[in-house]
Chains A and B, each alone.
Chain A
């Protein structure tokens, strides 16, 4: 039963992450490969604040989101006017630089050793300790992210983003600033990803650089593409499939030493097959490209 709750918590966590990426990629058309970096910023912020200062959880959410948003803003400014593949490569480079920072800045992040003994959080007297508590917390996070992304997509901002995605020149002719709108979506997306890292850090009580690599970014992107770009529930569906399908590997009897690699093989081929055969994913409005 505990394992089932753990899996459901993971699905909800990644559902929130995928939904936040869907705002930048699906709605704004920005192919971002740095999303795990924002997730990692959230996790490390929580680890440092809770261990160093015993900060309340809600404050950690705010600071983590603000930090990720600031980083996202910096990335967006540095890459403004880059499109498609160019933007993707730039974000990929940022992801690799973040990885280098997490591994090498020993004074802050403790390098490859990571940060251990992250305390369990409290919210207004509620001690978040058990698997069920984390399930409720993650459910709240995921629901909020989906709600915020949905409301943003249905708002004038979202409609403007839609035009920018389809035809930036048309958007400019209508008096909109495509780069500013895309930057705003990217920053918002980064801010929504960070709380997932906060929850992850407190749940696992340990963070290290290997949890926030480019492979994690690609996995989150695969969830968005599988679920369907431009779809409200697509990210949740994609997260469910990507998280749960490798569980089937348990019944295949693979040695634990290659189980992790087998998951990566599945993610990689899933992404390729989706682009080849079904670029709209399961419920998408647009092709993934």
Chain B
């Protein structure tokens, strides 16, 4: 049982790492915790579901369209909401409120269009499970691990070894100075959120094969991404990947003492603990820069 819980925790944690990566990219672009990013996850999931079930489009084209919708939403919300608010000098709290309102509206619109019931894709569609070290590994769990590892490695390489990555880190560190030095902050930031929307879109699609989605999941995805990012810190990507795995493992191992329905409460309790324990660092990492 412990082996199964560890494997489940690794896969769940990989899913959280994907959310953390997505939110990290949004954060790098605009230096605030953009809760509306969860809509990328939600819209991609529902788009994929609609294309697969209603229009019987094949997996790959459905996935491509779905993640493009996730990226497109990310770009649109930055252009229409975030940048105008930033230009007005809105503080991080105001940005939080604005993006919270936006996410609520998108979730409600999704509920109106698709209903509030769970949407998922049949286990048969995802393939047969594997045996790994005496535990059962579902194909979607393997997909989570592969996607989180591959995307995490790729994005880390891009951020640390490419010119665009350097520009993004420069803008995140000091956007005013970056502008003075001729770095096209708007373009760099837009590319970052587009990539973030792409990653969140993949997470949304995978969730269809795992637990399924309902409209409120956009909100939960946002919070999970925020927790993963705050626990990992914003200095670089590998700690965020690690924190996702740690949270996933913790959530599964807690089943040894608590019933499963309390699992989600663990994530939120972890957020409060980390916010309180790291408040001095977070003030420097997050809030001071977001106010700049």
Contacts and interface: CB of A to CB of B under 8 A. Distances in A.
A270 B101 contact: yes
A134 to B, nearest CB: 29
A86 B275 contact: yes
B173 interface: no
Main secondary structure of the interface of A (DSSP, over half): helix
Contacts of A82: 275-276, 279
A268 B276 contact: no
Contact of B92 (A84, A270, A276, A279): A84
A226 to B, nearest CB: 11
Interface string B97-109: 1111111111111
Nearest to B276: A78
B106 A268 contact: yes
Given A214-B219, A261-B111, A89 B33 contact: yes
B236 interface: no
Interface string A232-272: 00000000000000000000000000100111110111111
Interface in A74-111: 78-79, 81-86, 88-90, 92-94, 96-97, 100-101, 103-104
B130 interface: no
Interface string B61-87: 000000000000000000001001100
Interface residues on B, range: 35 or more
Nearest to B260: A104
A264 B107 contact: yes
Contact of A275 (B97, B259, B275): B97
Given A85-B32, A90-B272, A269-B105, A275 B98 contact: yes
A196 interface: no
Contacts of B102: 268-269, 272
B180 interface: no
A264 B101 CA distance: 9
B227 to A, nearest CB: 8
Given A89-B275, A214-B219, A289-B94, A100 B112 contact: no
A12 interface: no
Nearest to B271: A93
A85 B112 contact: no
A176 B268 CA distance: 32
Contact of A279 (B94, B106, B264): B94
Interface in B213-229: 219, 223, 226
Most buried by B among A93, A258, A274: A93
Interface stretch (B42-50, B52-60, B246-254, B283-291): B283-291
A111 B37 CA distance: 30
Contacts of A279: 90, 94
B108 A262 contact: yes
A276 B108 contact: no
B108 to A, nearest CB: 3
A83 B94 CA distance: 13
Given A82-B276, A275-B90, A265 B97 contact: no
Contacts, number: 144
Contact of A289 (B91, B104, B223): B91
B269 A93 contact: yes
A276 B279 contact: no
Nearest to B88: A276
B275 A100 contact: no
B96 interface: yes
Given A258-B112, A264-B104, A96 B93 contact: no
B223 A96 contact: yes
A83 B283 contact: yes
Given A78-B276, A90-B271, A267 B91 contact: no
A272 B242 CA distance: 34
Contact of A264 (B96, B105, B279): B105
B275 to A, nearest CB: 5
B143 to A, nearest CB: 27
A268 B103 contact: yes
A88 B104 contact: no
A272 B85 CA distance: 10
B111 to A, nearest CB: 5
Most buried by A among B81, B97, B259: B97
Nearest to B270: A93
6 contacts: A85-B92, A100-B264, A264-B107, A265-B108, A279-B94, A288-B97
By Cβ-Cβ distance, the 8 closest A-B pairs, closest first, are A289-B94, A271-B101, A268-B105, A264-B108, A268-B104, A272-B101, A261-B112, A93-B268
Interface of B: 32-33, 81, 84-85, 90-109, 111-112, 219, 223, 226, 259, 261-262, 264-265, 268-269, 271-272, 275-276, 279, 282-283, 286-287, 290
